[in-house]
A and B are shown apart, each in its own frame.
Chain A
């Protein structure tokens, strides 16, 4: 047969990892090659000008754009405080007064008589970039800092929220995470559940200041409650939920792959870096949990590509990723070359496999993932 391989997610007990940290524009690195850094350590920083706020002054003052300036009490360069008067007009012999006030603290950067805007620049902010990984600085350029280490890496299938770090805490090995599993001891931790999580447990996790949640699955209704909207395209990572969520298997009620749970248990109470960012298209990005084992790389960087490609063969261990055997582990027994009619009457390429229970099943090749 041909190389009809099916890529799975990376579940690696020990692998080389390098993360490139992009420095803020105009910033500089605060570390050097060879430095040992922790995940929360700053590796680069920059002074960044504050945001610009446009005030539609002409509209507020009810004057034409080109007549706005003469009603203003401020000039370009003036420092203004929030709610400070920027200008005023009166109409109908003073019966109607219009006041234009600054919505922010800052300074007047521009007064545009063409557009009728007053532009206020807020104070500059210091931007810092953290290492994200605990490891060794392996490269520093004008724009990037690379941090490398040897780590246990677990990729999820879907996530929400961005980068974070915390200690791994298994709160439920085989069951859903419920309210009862959550206490003040969860604060700052990345909590792990072997199945799903209920909505009220999400709320409690937020109250407990949990930094991350790793679960096998999540139901659509809980996802909707978390996001407040239906998800359309799987491009995530920017959500500001107060925690990062990583789903390892899929949607609905599914159990966590035993290898994943075993690895997380092995590293319980250890510090992990994790990121929920997901992009399921070409240029795929999967959520990840990275648990550094050594603060340096044992082998060369693998180019940052974490996923792996394998070939289906007789004896290959697989996981079924669609109903009616979703989530079950099996071993490939046959790989028929010709398409076979399945229950839907569709003729597709299949494989015959034996489930853990000993049952023999026929599965479309498209519906399996290879596992080690």
Chain B
């Protein structure tokens, strides 16, 4: 298709909540499609700009300066015609506006509202507030609060089927009085998803019908013993992508510029991940850590799952990560002494000035410690919800309803490939830092390849694949996915061993044998020929991925960091003693080459 249309250049932007990233793909004289450059600028969806296209033009202008190719004229992207300037295609993805901020309404906090919260959280929302009859607030307090929080949408639950109607009407009246205004779009009505007693719907419609966009879904709590979250979850997701996001300032103009419809960033990203899993016939996990949210995708045994942890991000939601993880869990990753005050002050300053970047190594290490926890929490969220978002009506017993248990559909040991993306991983100053963060956060087991989205372009290629799949795949393999390491992680009874495994590396120059000791990280770089084979012989109580004591051999692949052998065990437990922990962190960072830290006695 590309040959027929003779596409010479493609511009693709991703309008994120913090930064607008743009890439330029050009055709080389040899006919290959390669990444020609990348630019970025702050996203301008907020006041005083209120126009996403300003950030787009700023980013493309930066790209123009970096590549030397003329791309912008009269405040617009040059499209079509000239092979030496502009582009033949302009595509865009978007997640601007941050995460999805929802309010939940119910009758009883521990029943319908709790189910509604689970549905909203499962769909990746941040619950800004939950309003129920038993929330201890007066009606006026509820009205004031709803007005203040400016939710993107409201999930209205309450009443089992055949149960209360009157109280739903009362809550509808409260909502009517509050007249909630959305964050975007003066004339836009806040969508209200009604997921309560269906018999109350006509009455609620009478109250709210003209003021809000009322969408009916199945009751999230049809009876005390049942919970039906999927219908509400799908509606939340659809409305966010199609409705809320489209109200963001400047999108009308942006939509008139693009060659194909704007694709939501997570969808575009997921499209790429699913394609990789399918093509390579492997299990893939990918995490995209942004400013407001962390998206986790998995393609495991041909089953694709996406979750959005809407309250874990590295700018707007950085304090949420610190709060949820607990400062001890952040501090444990640092190779130096720090304090709760230093951590919180830094996180709070990042939250209020979200586009700033670390300029000192110390601040970089603190941010990377927070990244580990954001990924760890988001992965745990993904594992919890992986089984519940596939259109299956899930019934829970009364006992389960109070335990909030769910079987994990995937685990770290299933993964053949883990892809890291988002500024914190794609733009880490050293790939070795990215590799260490991913090892610590995901705790892969056995052999797992670690890749990074080189410059955060998976979303761009995802939207490109919708029109030019061959070009997208070509650039994906040549310029996007960068192999950073092959991780071989041991688990089992490592602690008490003197030697937990033996390793043999075969290079064209000969064979070298190593003894592997517990509690360490080893890095083996490739030879000049960039390829070697290795065989691992674990102790009989140690599992290198094929079972306790099972020996195997593999051919290594070339990667930026090389073969990393992790003998720290699973689950990864850090020393409780702070001094010992700092010493270990320094040793691990040094072993893998993440930071040039001197040994500390």
Contacts and interface: CB of A to CB of B under 8 A. Distances in A.
A224 B324 CA distance: 15
A13 B376 CA distance: 48
B98 A282 contact: yes
Nearest to A222: B341
B17 interface: yes
Given A282-B17, A338-B66, 10 more contacts: A25-B176, A114-B163, A219-B345, A220-B341, A230-B344, A233-B317, A234-B319, A323-B346, A323-B360, A344-B363
B65 A1 contact: yes
> 10 closest A-B pairs (Cβ-Cβ)?
A2-B61, A220-B344, A283-B183, A345-B429, A51-B138, A25-B177, A251-B348, A232-B320, A252-B345, A307-B48
B311 interface: yes
Nearest to B41: A4
Interface string B175-207: 011010001100000000000000000000000
A262 interface: no
A224 B343 CA distance: 13
A125 interface: yes
A272 to B, nearest CB: 22
A322 B349 contact: yes
Contacts of A344: 358-361, 363-364, 429
A277 to B, nearest CB: 7
Contacts of A178: none
Given A223-B348, A322-B359, A323-B359, A114 B164 contact: yes
Contacts of A347: 429
B340 A220 contact: yes
B352 to A, nearest CB: 5
A284 B43 CA distance: 13
Interface in A316-349: 321-324, 326, 337-338, 342-349
A352 interface: no
A230 B170 CA distance: 33
A115 B165 CA distance: 10
B46 A282 contact: yes
Interface stretch (B142-150, B234-242, B406-414, B547-555): B142-150
B70 interface: no
B146 to A, nearest CB: 11
Interface string B344-377: 1110110111111111110110000000000000
A220 B361 contact: no
B164 A157 contact: no
A59 B361 CA distance: 61
A74 interface: no
Nearest to B355: A366
Size range of the interface on B?
Answer: 35 or more
Contacts of B296: none
A201 B363 CA distance: 30
A274 B363 CA distance: 34
A364 interface: yes
Nearest to B321: A232
Interface in B40-89: 41-42, 45-50, 54, 57-58, 61-62, 64-66
Contacts of B166: 110, 112, 119
Contacts of A284: 46-47
A52 B138 CA distance: 7
Contact of B145 (A221, A238, A321, A323): A238
Interface string A95-121: 000000000000000101011010100
A235 interface: yes
Contacts of B57: 2-3
A172 interface: no
A324 B361 CA distance: 11
Interface of chain A, main secondary structure: loop
Contact of A281 (B98, B340, B429): B98
A158 interface: yes
A305 interface: yes
A260 B137 CA distance: 38
B133 A282 contact: no
Contacts of A3: 54, 57-58, 61
Contacts of A52: 133, 139, 170
Given A51-B139, A323-B359, A343-B360, A282 B183 contact: yes
23 contacts: A5-B58, A49-B139, A54-B133, A54-B134, A54-B167, A219-B341, A220-B340, A220-B341, A221-B344, A224-B344, A232-B319, A232-B323, A252-B345, A252-B349, A280-B316, A281-B101, A282-B183, A307-B47, A323-B346, A323-B359, A344-B358, A344-B359, A364-B357
A321 B353 contact: yes
A343 B149 contact: no
Contacts of A305: 47-48, 50
B140 A321 contact: no
A22 interface: yes
Interface string A208-251: 00000000000111011000001111110110000000000011
A280 B139 CA distance: 27
Given A127-B140, A232-B323, A324 B47 contact: no
Interface string A1-19: 1111111000000000000
B521 interface: no
Interface string B326-346: 000000000000001100111
B49 A230 contact: no
Given A235-B149, A305-B48, A367-B357, A250 B349 contact: yes
Given A220-B348, A281-B292, A322-B349, A342 B356 contact: no
A310 to B, nearest CB: 10
Given A230-B322, A307-B47, A366 B345 contact: no
Contacts of A234: 316, 319, 351-352
Contacts of B42: 6, 366
Nearest to B141: A51
Contacts of A219: 341, 345
A294 B147 CA distance: 30
A284 B183 CA distance: 9
B360 A308 contact: no
A228 to B, nearest CB: 13
A131 interface: no
Contacts of B133: 52, 54
Contacts of A345: 429-430
Nearest to A350: B359
A309 interface: yes
A125 B66 contact: no
B289 to A, nearest CB: 16
B424 to A, nearest CB: 11
Nearest to A48: B140
